[in-house]
Structure 1
């Protein structure tokens, strides 16, 4: 069995984003969650956001969904697709 390994190179921007995510995941100001928990939470949020967006696309007008759900990572384009704008 092989395991995937990766090294995260922390640019200033990536470090800033991880610090912000850590504040969200932490249970209180003195909590210092492991980076793996922060990354897991961010990935889970991304996946759940896409699922939530798919769930409401037929319930609300496209412009409303776009205004409420579009982010720099997930965006609603027209009414036919969800695109990942990341990278």
Structure 2
């Protein structure tokens, strides 16, 4: 990962941040800082990968794949977790 000093906020990225902010907010009047929203999203991604790995012994691969596939995390049947992001 390349470290950058600025974050360009495209319209789509701003919409995603607004949706994520609403999820992270304690109530409709809370406006969490962007750093809190980004930290929550990163934590969710890391924990999701761990949850998928933990579920492998408990659930069949088709169920895990049907529930856990997103535009960011892609699962190959019975093999591995792959990032679809880039």
TM-score (norm 1): 0.91
Equivalent residue number for residue 65 of structure 1? 64
**By how many angstroms is 1:24 displaced?**
0.3
Deviations 1:60-87 (A, max 9, x none): 1111010111111112101111001112
Map 1:3-18 → 2, pairs under 5 A: 6-18=5-17
Alignment partners' CA distance in 1, 2:35 and 2:75: 29
TM-score (norm 2): 0.92
- Is 1:37 matched with 2:43? no
**By how many angstroms is 1:58 displaced?**
2.2
Aligned-partner SS, 1:60: coil
In the alignment, structure 2 segments of 5+ residues that lack a partner are: none
Alignment partners' CA distance in 2, 1:19 and 1:74: 21
Tell me whether 46-55 or 67-76 shows the greater mean CA deviation: 67-76
In the alignment, structure 1 segments of 5+ residues that lack a partner are: none
**By how many angstroms is 1:5 displaced?**
5.0
The 4+ residue runs of structure 1 with deviation greater than 2 A are: none
Alignment partners' CA distance in 1, 2:27 and 2:18: 14
Alignment partners' CA distance in 1, 2:68 and 2:4: 32
Equivalent residue number for residue 73 of structure 2? 74
